[in-house]
Amino acid sequence: MPIRPICLQAPFLTFSLCALTHSLALAIEPETQIIPKISDDSQHLSGQAFLGWESRYFSEGRDDLDGNSLAITSFELSSTHFTGGVWYGISPDQSYDELQLSLAWTHSIGEVEFYTSYTYLEFPTDDENDNEIGIGLSWAGLPLDIELALDAYYSFDADGTFIETSASRELIATDRFSIDLGSVFGINQGFVNDGHDGGNYIALRCAMTYSYSESIALTAHFTQSWELGSDSSLEGDDTLVDLFHAGVGIVWTF
């Protein structure tokens, strides 16, 4: 899985990739991790570290670890237009780990933000690797402070693309606590090359952030997804199921 924007976000791309602002969702998959960007808009170099746990490894609408959880950690550095980082995930329930190295470029024109990214993925347990490129944009100019995003990422190994569209809105409850509500629609075009093409899933998500201090934040999210058009004759659709999952984490920004 690639690193996705989370309001690089991830993501919800990320919302989360959970999702550059899209900041690199040293994620995640917009839907796998929600790592909120809590740093300011400084033009100087800034950094962010994240440590979290996901009840499922949710990716492309699928339960990639068949019900098992994933512990994740990430580190990223950002300047005015560039963000680079490393993401590592390991399952405490089965033999699985994954490393991602990413670099992204972002640019804003008014309330529209564009990004492009490159991610190298290493799967040590399976002795495999992949390279992915991503593009996307987000628009925050809608009424009611709703933000729309479109993200697409291409896998050189699968020779296919996955596309996600999302809508989200942040609610500021207090000066320390915020809630982000969002929805996402995922479309497979050969990215999951042994699964069906076309609409794959829709999901609703609630993500919460509590700012413990100016540099430390606690996060949690709850997501319900529904499969679309799963084909039981295709192996890649075996894990494309209706799914509820959640995650918690801590973010340090410097």
Q: Residue 37: which pLDDT band, with cuts at 50, 70 and 90?
A: low
Number of neighbouring beta carbons within 10 Å of residue 232: 8
The answer for 208, left when phi > 0, alpha when psi is -120 to 50, beta otherwise, is beta
The residue with tokens 């560039």 is 82
Using CA atoms of 220, 84, 104, 201 in order, give the dihedral in degrees to the nearest 10. Answer: -30
pLDDT at 239 over 80: yes
- Sorted by sequence, the CB contacts under 8 Å of residue 187 that are 6+ apart come out as 162, 163, 164, 198, 199, 200
CB 230 within 8 A of CB 242: no
Chain segment 132-183, per-residue pLDDT in tens: 999 999 999 899 999 999 999 999 999 999 999 999 999 999 999 999 999 9
Chain segment 172-215, per-residue pLDDT in tens: 999 999 999 999 999 999 999 999 999 999 999 999 999 999 99
DSSP 3-state assignment of 135? strand
Superfamily for 4-253?
monomeric porin ompg (2.40.160.40)
pTM for this prediction: 0.85
Query: Which of 31, 25, 73 is CA-nearest to residue 52?
Result: 73
pLDDT at 46 over 90: yes
Per-domain boundaries in the chain: 4-253
Encoded tokens for 154: 């291409």
